[in-house]
Amino acid sequence: MSLGILYVAATPIGNLEDISLRALRIFKEADYILCEDTRTTHQLLSKYEIKTATISYHQHSGGGKVQQLLRYLAEGKNLVLVSDAGTPGISDPGSMLVAAARQEYGPELSVVALPGANAAISALSVSGWPVDRFTFFGFLPHKKGRQTMLKEILVNDYPAVFYESKHRIAKCLEEMSIIVAEYELTIEVMLARELTKMFESLYFGQPATLAKQLANDLDMQKGEFVVLVRKIKK
């Protein structure tokens, strides 16, 4: 029996219409869809009347779950790996399953990307900045190493992009303001909030200016943020 196929599928980051026709077809044809949160994925599947069985698979899934999924592949079953939003393996644990499957079955296993939404790329595309080169930092550490990473971002010669939550965006802007003053940097920041959703918003400015705007605008404090930073050459 030949091995099944492991698909890695991007899902919408907000608007449920941002899903490819190919992904929808594969969702319907697959044996199982592996979900970070089955409740979230079911919202997408229900919209497109897809009845494929789902299996919970996330960062806290143990080795037993991985072995179960590897057995399914050995039985010839086709699996689709999705995250709650965006592209699996980009700032989420999806890469662990792909690595385990490749280690187990080597080049005989087909791992197929179903490309689509990605918050970082979406934000870069609407920035208007020259981004033929950029650095992606994922999520900042909450504590240890946070200041070191922020400094690396701000002194970078190329635009940088990272993710931040509504709970830490104010702190992030304050921390950037301190580093900018300390190292006498001139930078521009873009905040992309709630991309592809009803209240999608873009904000441009200096960290200190954006921090004041954030403090005075309750709506601006809601949602998830993609943060872009570029150094302005003097």
Domain housing 104: 5-114
| Range 32-59 average pLDDT | 96
Which pLDDT value is given to residue 93?
Answer: 72
Q: Among 16-20, 40-44, 160-164, 219-223, which stretch is predicted with the lowest mean pLDDT?
A: 219-223
Residues 133, 137, 139: CA angle, nearest 5 degrees: 150
Residues of the chain above pLDDT 90, percent: 85
Structure-block tokens of residue 114: 């179903």
SS3 8: strand
| Range 26-45 average pLDDT | 97
Single residue among 57, 91, 114 that ends a domain in this structure: 114
Which pLDDT value is given to residue 89?
Answer: 87
SS3 190: strand
pLDDT digits (tens, 9 = 90+) for 89-118: 887 777 899 999 999 999 999 999 999 999
More confidently predicted of 219 and 103: 103
User: Total domain count for the chain?
Assistant: 2
Does residue 132 share a domain with residue 106? no
- Hey, what amino acid is at 153? I
Does residue 108 share a domain with residue 190? no
Which pLDDT value is given to residue 234?
Answer: 67
| Range 3-8 average pLDDT | 98
Compute CA distances 139 → 31, 49, 63, 121, 142, whole Å: 32, 34, 25, 15, 9
Single residue among 93, 114, 135 that ends a domain in this structure: 114
Which pLDDT value is given to residue 1?
Answer: 74
Does residue 155 share a domain with residue 219? yes
Query: How far, in Å, CA of 67 to CA of 53, rounded?
Result: 18
Does residue 89 share a domain with residue 169? no
Q: Which pTM value belongs to this model?
A: 0.92
Does residue 143 share a domain with residue 106? no
Q: Among 33-42, 161-170, 212-221, which stretch is predicted with the lowest mean pLDDT?
A: 212-221
> What is the C-alpha R_g of the chain?
20
Residue ranges of E strands in the chain? 5-9, 32-35, 54-56, 79-81, 110-114, 135-139, 160-164, 187-193, 201-205, 225-231
Single residue among 85, 114, 143 that ends a domain in this structure: 114
SS3 52: coil
What CATH code is carried by the domain that includes residue 22?
Answer: 3.40.1010.10
Does residue 124 share a domain with residue 80? no
Helix 94-105 and helix 63-74, axial crossing angle in degrees, nearest 10: 50
What CATH code is carried by the domain that includes residue 140?
Answer: 3.30.950.10
- Whether 93 and 123 have beta carbons less than 8 Å apart is answered as no
Does residue 173 share a domain with residue 99? no
SS3 131: coil
pLDDT digits (tens, 9 = 90+) for 122-179: 999 999 999 999 999 999 998 899 999 999 999 999 999 999 999 999 999 999 999 9
Does residue 199 share a domain with residue 158? yes
Does residue 199 share a domain with residue 125? yes
Does residue 156 share a domain with residue 100? no
Residue with tokens 């806290």, as numbered in its chain: 60
Does residue 153 share a domain with residue 76? no
- Whether 129 and 159 have beta carbons less than 8 Å apart is answered as yes
Does residue 70 share a domain with residue 128? no
Which pLDDT value is given to residue 29?
Answer: 98
Query: How far, in Å, CA of 114 to CA of 194, rounded?
Result: 23
